[in-house]
Chains A and B, each alone.
Chain A
């Protein structure tokens, strides 16, 4: 009898395949890039190594100047421009061979020896600030425009972005948790203050439960603590959801199933390179996120 019971339960376990899943995915194609008209002449040879900086240069209408790009700038329009980083590390040889006038870097560009080698060859290396929220993204655009001697274009792009960013906020301040998942585990990385996702969630009228309760930009959290935080909606990266085996895999993880988001299957996923890009695609992403959150809460 006991064995039969065990078998029955095991098979129930295997056959729980949730239906009518309601994951809203926002992919690269769902957002529009805010872009100025393109200048046709090349003024200088620029290599953009700072995260997402190639995307900004393209939006400033200065794509013709780009001769190398960072790995995070993945727009189809930029596919022909070679990636000169290996992961987040730069390869000095590749960069020198392209004979650039200007190289844009940020805090995470390394290694230092490679950068020193570029400076020794009298290549103009300019550090630009990183962006973890919409306000930062304006500062970054200004810095990039200044480095390319196109201050006016920088201001124009920022003005254009500001017009779009005023998205309609969702009512009722739903609780949203941004989870960074890489493979199934019952210990989660939850976004806290400064994760980047916190400003996006606030911009669309949500409450970021991670930012409210945690201290660091990313925090580990057990299943119990996640259940206790009880978010109404989960915000994930697209590949993050895939890494746990999609929504079926996600709902089997202890802690997720007990939250309102898990019970009602309210999950929003965003393309990995888009979510925390904070560039010319972000205003459109915010309106899409607001729409997604609104429809999940209906």
Chain B
């Protein structure tokens, strides 16, 4: 075998191994595209809920995923790890309605639904025809001892003060509970501004209840739009990388088919 043949074959070998790794790189780039698509879905939901009372925006966390048997140990895929909610609170929006309340601090109101206890940041309250203080869906809001709060029918002025105590015509009638979960504990969203939890929250005293205002959504339009641009760029860049990888694969195949050229 002549020298140039040897050189040619060793070169071909490198190309073929690149080609095999190439399919790997296709999957790696693909994992980025899938992640960006999920990210866009979450972002889209955030922006759609920019006017939702008490909405907390979701962010996706990604992590790298290695295949332990992989020849190339440095290869890792992007993988959706979990959703998290940044702790920043939405603005308070004044409504001037006594029964619109909001929590300042970490804490949620508890709602007594027929399906069990749920939590919410939406403090839009009404007095039901059963004389109970209820949410917009008609579920009673819980007091600190998990009871519905009763408002006498002849009530004239209902006031809710800083610690959540409800006064009806200067008489104390109950205290709305504000429940706190440990940090980094994610409540599962249920829709309809409700959260479910599988642990028992505690009552802390580092909160205050504001009457006459509602908690606005914490979605920030400007940062959402810059995130959108960023993820679009990432998608496009990875896309052109995929195109180039594909071209390399094609070239390798052509070279193998026509070794004399």
**A and B from one assembly?**
no
| Interface of A toward B, CB cutoff 8 Å | none
| Interface of B toward A, CB cutoff 8 Å | none
